[in-house]
Amino acid sequence: MAEVKVAEESVLTDDFLRQLINVGEVDILVGVPTHNNAKTIGAIAETIQAGILTFFPRERAAIINVDGGSRDGTPELVASAAIDDARPNAKMYTLRTFHSISTQYASSPARGTALHTIMAAAELLRAKACAVISPESTQITTDWLATLLRPVYTADFDLVLPTYSRHRFDGILLTNLLYPMTRALYGLKIREPFALDYAFSGRLGSQFLTQNAWHEETAQAGSETQLTLTAIAGEYRICQSFLGTKERAERHSADLVPAMRQTVGALFSSLETNFSLWSARTGSQPIPTTGDERKFSLEPLRINRKRLREMFSTGVAELESIFQSILSPATLAELQGIARTEDVPFRYSAELWVKTIYEFAAAYHKSVISRDHIIQALAPLFRGRALTFLAENINGSADDVENNIESLCLEFERTKPYLLEIWKQ
Amino acid sequence: MRQMIIDELTQAMQELTRGFAHILPRIIVLVIIAFAGWVVAYLLKMFLRSILRLIKFDKLSENAGASQLLTKAALPSATELLSRFMFWMAWLGFILLGVSVLGILGLQDEIARFFLFLPRLFVALFILFFGLLAASFFSRAALLAAVNANLRSPRLLSVSIRTIIIVFVLSMFFEELGIAEQTVLVAFGTAFGAVMLGLAIAFGTGGKDLAQQFLEKRFSVGKKDEGKEDELSPL
């Protein structure tokens, strides 16, 4: 408890604390971390308000916007999306208190600090259920609030993770690494271990506040992944709810390494603290799911496969000295073989990909070189695997894509003893 | 004549014996100091080794790539190397202290100078060790960043960064030791200037197209690109 107080004191500003004290206690809290989201935030804030008024009119609720130093007027837009705007249109009224407050937690965005602020506020307000909504979730509907919060508020779940209908080639890092590896190691079929829209209970939030080393870089970068892993390790009740379509986000190729730091780095880092948990688990179990577990849309995409192949081959050739410290000679030789062949169709097999990932995880554990460099070195290899995934599913149906992912998951599970073997060497 | 030779020899022997008797206690003191020094140096070595193991110095060295350099040079681990260095420095210090007891003229000043030089030697070695670590770390960081940004000749960039840092570190090392300070300074200035000029020319001529592409892309933000390709969305 003393630790919680220290955490709260350090992360909540005096002004924000004053606002929170005015709010009093709440049943439902919705956190919206923002940074320069002026284009989308207004509509999202209104939808959240309408969702709460529709589905939780008898509960005390608060919306908390934590901003990372926006310069486009995002916090003002959240504040201007007043509750009264939503009421006349929808003819909705709350029977209890409903507050909407905003704070700036830093002058530059930091996901970990944003989540830390939301959790500290939730703890202070004694919220029973807390949802976090991404400011990029432009497809949000009022139903999302019920879908995410009800399992926590009424069914006693501790963590509600989303599932979406996605494009088959969207989230390749999730489908080819995060989902299969989390599933193989921790034994739960969690489709989105790195979630941006999710809900958690007050008790899980309190536990995470005290447990997470917020000052550490890995914890800061991958706080969402850490939350999922904390829930798994603490054997909290987890479920997943189908939210609908997740639109393809406009990404740049430079986003890959930061994305890998946030997710793969957090996953690798968790293996050390949770060794006794994951080393003892075999196989995988489904978790309670509301709605579809996953849907794939099949529209064509124009991805430059030649460029992906070039970046893979260049990476394998140029980073040879780094790979020598991370990979086994056999794995490296196989990768070099794939990178050199130009005539035959490119294929980075599931077996080799799984072996590569496990060797990277073991190298991360042993810190053979700087851990951040290990994550960066994985990026060119991921491009190679993504290229193979594209090629294997280019003409496939949604079922084919699902089967492909399932066989990769089984390969991760089958090869798990290899990770245990190299982990201890 | 014969008696004279015998007297001279006897006198010489007596002087030699007197001299030996005069210096023998000092030699014994030297041996005792050297032995005590060995014990102290050994204890210091063990102490330093324990401290370095406790703070996982080898892991730090591995992270920065120094262990690979040491392995390539067939040298022991960083912890072992520093411990041995401490042992020899301490023992050598004690031996020189013992030698000064012998009272050999001129040697006292040299020994005093050696002891004054020791802190500079430590600082110089510290600069060299951490400089090489920094060179290895930053060159690897540059290599990874260049590969992930799909830049041309990433290894050239990495080697250039490593070379610049090593040249800089070596110049600091020699300056700290006080070896050919002016020569090193001029050589460093010339080499560094040449590298910078070379890079400026290379970037100026080679990066012309890149700069053009960047500016075109920067100022055509609002335009819709019909042939635009989709990027992979990892999450």
Chain B nearest-CA distance from A315, in A, is 6
Q: Is B209 inside any structural domain?
A: yes
CATH topology assigned to domain A2-162+193-258:
Spore Coat Polysaccharide Biosynthesis Protein SpsA; Chain A (3.90.550)
Nearest-neighbour CA in chain B from A39: distance (Å): 15
Structure tokens at A396: 């496939």
- Domains: count for chain B: 2
Query: Are B91 and B129 contained in the same domain?
Result: no
According to the model, what pLDDT value does residue A2 have?
45
This model of the complex carries an ipTM of 0.80
pTM of the model: 0.77
**What is the C-alpha separation between A179 and B46, in angstroms, rounded?**
48
**Using CA atoms, how far apart are residues A158 and A237, in angstroms rounded to an integer?**
5
Tell me the domain boundaries of chain A.
2-162+193-258, 163-192+259-425
Instruction: Looking at the structure, tell me whether residues B139 and B204 fall in a common domain.
Output: yes
| Residue B12 in domain | no
Q: Which of A253, A311, A382 lies closest to B231 in CB terms?
A: A253
A378 is written with which tokens? 């994985």
Q: Does the residue B6 lie in any domain?
A: no
Neighbouring residues of A218: CB distance < 8 A, sequence distance ≥ 6: A265, A266, A269
Chain A residues with CB under 8 Å of B70 CB are none
Per-residue pLDDT of chain A (425 residues; tens, 9 = 90+): 444 454 445 678 888 888 888 888 899 999 999 888 888 888 888 899 889 888 888 888 889 998 888 888 888 888 776 555 545 455 556 656 778 888 888 777 788 888 889 999 999 999 999 999 988 888 888 889 999 999 999 999 999 999 988 888 888 899 999 999 999 999 999 988 888 899 999 999 988 888 766 666 655 667 888 888 889 888 899 999 998 887 766 555 558 888 898 889 989 988 888 888 899 888 888 999 887 666 777 677 777 788 888 889 999 999 998 999 899 999 999 999 988 887 677 889 999 999 999 999 999 998 888 889 999 999 999 999 999 998 888 888 888 888 999 999 999 999 999 999 999 87
Q: Chunked in runs of 10, what are the mean pLDDT values of chain B (235 residues)?
A: 86 87 86 93 93 83 68 77 88 86 77 82 84 87 91 87 88 84 77 78 70 65 52 71
Residues on chain B touching A248 (C-beta within 8 angstroms): 230, 233
CB contact under 8 A, B144 and A376: yes
Same domain, B50 and B76: yes
Residues constituting chain B? 235
Query: Considering the domain boundaries, does residue B193 fall inside one?
Result: yes
- Tens-place pLDDT, residues A283-324: 888 999 887 666 777 677 777 788 888 889 999 999 998 999
What are the backbone angles phi and psi of residue A164, rounded to the nearest 5°?
-130, 165
* Domain limits for position B28: 24-104
Contact A301 B230 (CB under 8 A): yes
Verify that B74 and B134 share a domain, yes or no: no
Alpha-carbon distance A423 to A271, whole Å?
10
Nearest to A197 by CA among A245, A260, A237: A245
Residue B151: CA count within 13 A, CB half-sphere: 19
Residue B125 lies in a domain: yes
Do B68 and B130 lie in a common domain?
A: no
Give the count of beta carbons closer than 10 Å to the beta carbon of residue B53.
12
CB < 8 Å to B228, chain A:
302
> What CATH number does the domain containing B130 carry?
1.10.287
Cβ-in-10-Å burial (0-12, 13-18, 19+) of A177 comes to buried
Q: Helices B154-177 and A305-318: crossing angle, nearest 10°?
A: 30
Residue B3 lies in a domain: no
Same domain, B126 and B59: no
Q: Nearest-CA distance from A318 to chain B in Å?
A: 7
A389-423 in b/e burial notation, b at 16+ Cβ within 10 A?
bbeebeeeeeeebbebbeebbbbbbebbeebeebb
Element (H, E) at A6: helix A2-11
Domain boundary among B51, B73, B104: B104
Residues B215 and B129 in one domain: yes
Average pLDDT, chain A: 85
- The interface residues of chain A toward chain B in range 377-406, judged by CB-CB distance below 8 A, are 377, 379-380, 382-383, 386
B92 and B144 in a single domain? The answer is no
- Integer angstrom CA distances of residue A197 from A44, A131, B147: 12, 7, 33
